[in-house]
Structure 1
Amino acid sequence: MSLDISKLDSLISELNAGRVAATGGVSKSNGEDGTTVSFVDALHKAIENVSAAQDQAHEKVNQYITGDSNITLQDMLITSQKADIAFLQMVKSKEKLRAAYTTIMNMPV
């Protein structure tokens, strides 16, 4: 089961269009290794990481259910909890982004 990110893609497109219009170009920030990474790229990577964590959790659950002896109950539960925490954090981040976007859009010009 993968994460449907079509609504987030729409929000990212709106944010990106607003940022380009406001700054006249695409702003970038420094990544951990000294390279430049745009906000949109960082957001996409975070979403992909959450989706990968969910896929890994579903795979471990399926392996455990089918009786794979290499997967313990603890491994399955820990992986599932990690995916759940990552997803909840992404939802909270989305809510904060939406609130920030709404605040900016409601600012007088």
Structure 2
Amino acid sequence: MVHCYQYNGEGKTPGGLIEGIADWVRLNAGYAPPHWKKDADGDWDGGYQKTAYFLDWIEGRYGDGSIRELNEGMKDAEYDEHIFKDVTGRKVSKLWTLYKEHLEENK
């Protein structure tokens, strides 16, 4: 259902981010399956629960509405990773590094 209300940066948004946003909504609605776990192996846009938990961390760190703003930024413009900097003030690569550090510190 989320995909019906989701923007795709004029078809240029990575599939992992599309699926990650959908699963972020699922996570925040309380429908995360019990087998989901937070991990930072691989890339931030690996999709599904990996990206969902990363987005959840962004929302918690940069404020309520951050992921909605990220989605909105893909409405009328071609996707560009710079959108993360527009929303958070940081590049997505730096956010991913900070997220990995956060997971390590909170094991």
Q: TM-score, normalised by structure 2?
A: 0.38
Higher relative contact order (CA 8 A, sep 6+): 2
Q: TM-score, normalised by structure 1?
A: 0.38
Structure number, greater radius of gyration: 1
